[in-house]
Amino acid sequence: MNRAYDHRAIESKAREKWEYLNLSVTDLSDKTKDPYYLLVEFPYPSGDMHIGHWYAFAVTDIYARMLRARGKNVLFPIGFDAFGLPAENAAIKHGVDPKDWTYKNIERMRTQLKSMGASFDWSKEVIACDPSYYKWTQWLFTKLFEQGLAEHKEASVKWCPKDQTVLANEQVMDGCCERCGTEVEEKTLTQWFLKITQYAERLLTGLNTLPWREDIKEAQRAWIGKSDGATLTFMIGDLSVDVFTTRPDTVFGVTYLVLAPEHSALENLPIENKAEVDAYIAKTKTKTERERSENKEKTGTQLSGVMAINPATKEEIPVYIADYVIGSYGTGAIMAVPAHDDRDLQFALKFNLPICPVIARAELGKEIEDNPRLAESLRESCIQSGVAIVGDGILFNSGEHSGRSNKVAMWDIVDAVGGKRTTSYRLRDWLVSRQRYWGCPIPIVYDPKGEPHTIPPEHLPWKLPTDVDFTPTGESPLASSVELRERVTRIFGDGWTPEYDTLDTFVDSSWYFNRYLSTDNEHSFSDDALMKKWLPVNRYSGGSEHTNMHLLYARFFTMALYDIALSPVEEPFIERFNRGLIMGPDGHKMSKSKGNVLNPDEFVEKYGADAVRVYLAFIGPYNEPGNYPWNLDGVAGMRKFLERIVSVIERKEDVEVSEDLMRKLARASTRISSDGDRFKFNTAVSALMILLNEFESAPKIPILAVRDFVCMLAPFAPHLAEALWETLGQEGSVHVAEWPVYDPDLLQSAVSVVAVQVNGKRRGVIELPKDSSEDDAILEAKKISAIENALNEQVLERVIYVPERILNFVTRP
């Protein structure tokens, strides 16, 4: 390695200089420049930075630096999402205080983040577990409570037996805990929920206004899961049971009713039916096991003697309970149409229930009128194939609606049976209470009657007690705190009790980007005027794993705050970029068990932070969430690139910049800017490399040209660029120098290179003065023998000439 490039000395010196010049502190009130809020997801302080952290922060930093050079007032803040399970687990395992563990890690991560040369504004640092921050998490929770958006209710919830806490729906992946991978259990518990479902429609329509990648928007749409349909009422004696259906047009084909085993109507049934329900529940395995089982064989039990009336046909139909009906979706009950729904058909075949088709394909024409035979043949085909008849057609066996298109008749049928239009969402309310210690205490106390009350603002922050036994028991650790109980009695009186659960850490991170604007504010969670100026966030860079968690929660929070005039915007983030994943050298995801985990520190030590930054920028497009294998030789290659730059700069001479070189600089400058705007740092680096190749082959290297080159290099390799800036005898820091811009005319080249084709196949290339006519081009092209020969043999039919691009001779033999 080139000893002239001592990256250790260069990097520490540059960092000292930036610190001294106070370069990355943003004046939020500055009126002279355009504000640009560049946000990157704040990290959990796990203690060791891996390559993923580098990829997240170092590459986003390139853009922050580039925008500053281009004259923007860039807010590029950092903080720590510092509540969470690892701290508590460390406490249980090693007996350390979770707070000490967390703050020690934060200290370490600060050093590491600085070692990347990341230009974060540390003066605006936010730490989620600090009382000065969680005071406002609590205050916002009380605001949501006042709006009726926070609710203490009993519900069937997911429980992680390993972490000994409940989880939000979003935190269950394939039936397992998102954190630890343990299979989750289902429990009925009274928990705190934030009513995100009230915002389902707005979360959905809001997506249409956002310029996000389609895959991110689609994932959120699927998670919200909107279905338009109708609620129809079925009578069971005097008892009415509502069902939700997207196919009310098939109601004449309903042959039985199914309720979820936990359906509330079951409580009003005779004792012998309740026994049937209990027996069924006991027989079936726990719900999660059922959900995960490969074998999706349907189970169910008929409620003996219980009959419902089909509101369309007025016929009696049997009533079943079955767990293929989900209690928490729709109304928890369905009307079963085995002829037109695969799941109902499976169930009907198993329990030998009638199958009654009511829609036939329109092509069948007159045959549809002959319905006894048609019904029989369609029923037969369902039984044979096990596949229901889906899709649209003509109704039959549907009373006065027979003969009509099912789509057209659908809402008339709803009216006829006294139903109403309904929309259902797959999204469930966000379960935010956790039976864990290291989280934000829920700012709630219960009066002697057990009614919840918010803790008044003068008692916020509602401090996390320290006299707590962390050992997980399934009970909230805060329940062991004497201090907390005494505090509640002291402030609220005898018989009042604390809430012992803490908040999901996703609540902490749902609003942190507001806090960066006013970190020291003791009177407000943010600052009105600055929020108006800086929000929404211009660009948010993060990981795709947060698409249906953090990104959804933060949108919900912002909308809820907007509705009570606490946020000036409804959508928090304009642009969103999900970065890709850095894989191990073997192309697999890095994991300790595979032994393919790379420690970035080794590479930084050996090749320097700049080489690692440039490598990560160059590895692939940052705007596409692909998987990029870490190439061990790749970093060395980038080191070589930087060394070549050092050598070239040594050759600088005080000569004039030729027009040709000026054009090349101009082209590189526009290219790098526009690639940066699209987060395509790979091609931006390539533009720098092309420029370097140009310098290397030039007989003389003008000092002004390399000066501009160093400016363009600065966002990518900030430390080296700073050192070279000094070598060039420039004043101040390269990072306050303006981005080089050139006369736009330079982007037009004087000569154009035109490809010559015969029938679309390339036969040669000609160089023409710019603005040459078609005749000039043809004349020039005919000098190429291959063209001449081809044209002599064939009849010229037409000529296509696209100036500066292509000249195509179209011939006929």
Partner RNA sequence: GCCGGGAUGGCGGAAUCGGUAGACGCAAUGGAUUCAAAACCCAUCGCCGCAAGGCAUGAGAGUUCGAGUCUCUCUCCCGGCACCA
Among positions 716-755, residues that touch RNA (CB under 7 A) are: 753, 755
- Contacts of RNA in 142-171 (CB under 7 A): none
**Residue reference for tokens 């009726």:** 148
Give the C-alpha separation, 806 to 756, whole Å: 6
- Contacts of RNA in 692-711 (CB under 7 A): 693, 696
* Window of 5-13, 317-325, 397-405, 732-740 that interacts with RNA by CB under 7 A: 317-325
Residue 406 beta carbon to RNA: minimum distance, rounded to whole angstroms = 14
Q: Identify the helix (H) or strand (E) that includes residue 768.
A: strand 761-769
Q: In this structure, what token pair is assigned to residue 620?
A: 């692939």
Give the C-alpha separation, 660 to 749, whole Å: 9
* 582 near RNA (CB under 7 A): no
Q: Which residue in the set 686, 727, 730, 794 belongs to the binding site for RNA (CB under 7 A)?
A: 686
Give the C-alpha separation, 238 to 224, whole Å: 35
DSSP structure string for 354-402: -----EE-GGGGGGGGSHHHHHHHHHHHHHHH-----S--EE-SSGGGT
Bridge partner list, 420:
231
* 802 near RNA (CB under 7 A): yes
Over the window 414 to 453, marking each residue x when it contacts RNA by CB under 7 A and - when it does not, the resulting string is ----------x-x---------------------------
Residue 639 beta carbon to RNA: minimum distance, rounded to whole angstroms = 8
Residue 620 beta carbon to RNA: minimum distance, rounded to whole angstroms = 4
- Using CB under 7 A as the binding criterion, the count of chain residues that bind RNA stands at 83
Q: Tell me phi and psi for residue 592, to 5 degrees.
A: -60, -40
**Residue reference for tokens 């933060």:** 554
Over the window 223 to 262, marking each residue x when it contacts RNA by CB under 7 A and - when it does not, the resulting string is x-x-x-x-------------xxxxx------------x--
Residue 602 beta carbon to RNA: minimum distance, rounded to whole angstroms = 17
Q: Which residue in the set 21, 173, 239, 362 belongs to the binding site for RNA (CB under 7 A)?
A: 173
Q: Which residue in the set 288, 682, 730, 794 belongs to the binding site for RNA (CB under 7 A)?
A: 682
Give the C-alpha separation, 119 to 65, whole Å: 7
Residue 448 beta carbon to RNA: minimum distance, rounded to whole angstroms = 39
Amino acid letter for position 78: I
Instruction: Identify the DSSP state of 592.
Output: G
Over the window 319 to 348, marking each residue x when it contacts RNA by CB under 7 A and - when it does not, the resulting string is ----xxxx--xxxx-x------x-x--x--
**Residue reference for tokens 């329990």:** 351
Instruction: Identify the DSSP state of 43.
Output: P
* 794 near RNA (CB under 7 A): no
Reference 435, options 475, 485, 388, 481; nearest CA is: 475
HEC-encoded secondary structure of 613-664 = HHHHHHCCCCCCCCEEECCHHHHHHHHHHHHHHHHHHHCEECCCCCHHHHHH
* 274 near RNA (CB under 7 A): no
Long-range contacts of 526-531 (CB under 8 A, 24+ apart): 528/568, 530/28, 530/29, 531/567, 531/568, 531/569
Q: Which residue in the set 187, 290, 453, 487 belongs to the binding site for RNA (CB under 7 A)?
A: 290
Q: What angle do CA 639, 641, 646 make, to 5 degrees?
A: 95
Nearer to RNA among residue 741 and residue 786 (C-beta): 786
Q: Which residue in the set 279, 765, 779, 796 belongs to the binding site for RNA (CB under 7 A)?
A: 765
- Contacts of RNA in 535-574 (CB under 7 A): 544, 547-548
- Contacts of RNA in 35-94 (CB under 7 A): none
Q: Tell me phi and psi for residue 240, to 5 degrees.
A: -105, 135
Residue 56 beta carbon to RNA: minimum distance, rounded to whole angstroms = 17
Q: Which residue in the set 25, 180, 222, 597 belongs to the binding site for RNA (CB under 7 A)?
A: 222
Residue 218 beta carbon to RNA: minimum distance, rounded to whole angstroms = 4
| Residue 764 near residue 786 (C-beta atoms within 8 A) | yes
Reference 192, options 491, 9, 439; nearest CA is: 439
* 810 near RNA (CB under 7 A): yes
- Contacts of RNA in 454-493 (CB under 7 A): none
Nearer to RNA among residue 114 and residue 667 (C-beta): 667
Residue 131 beta carbon to RNA: minimum distance, rounded to whole angstroms = 34
* Window of 77-85, 233-241, 508-516, 671-679 that interacts with RNA by CB under 7 A: 671-679
Q: In this structure, what token pair is assigned to residue 355?
A: 């199958």
* Window of 13-21, 182-190, 294-302, 553-561 that interacts with RNA by CB under 7 A: 294-302
Q: Which residue in the set 675, 708, 722, 780 belongs to the binding site for RNA (CB under 7 A)?
A: 675
Residue 802 beta carbon to RNA: minimum distance, rounded to whole angstroms = 5
* 214 near RNA (CB under 7 A): yes
Nearer to RNA among residue 175 and residue 568 (C-beta): 175
Give the C-alpha separation, 745 to 663, whole Å: 9
- Contacts of RNA in 619-648 (CB under 7 A): 619-621, 626, 628-629, 631, 633-634, 636-638, 640-641, 644
Nearer to RNA among residue 194 and residue 549 (C-beta): 549
Is 194 exposed, middle or buried (CB count within 10 Å of its CB: 0-12, 13-18, 19+)? buried
- Contacts of RNA in 376-415 (CB under 7 A): none
**Residue reference for tokens 């929920």:** 193
Amino acid letter for position 197: T
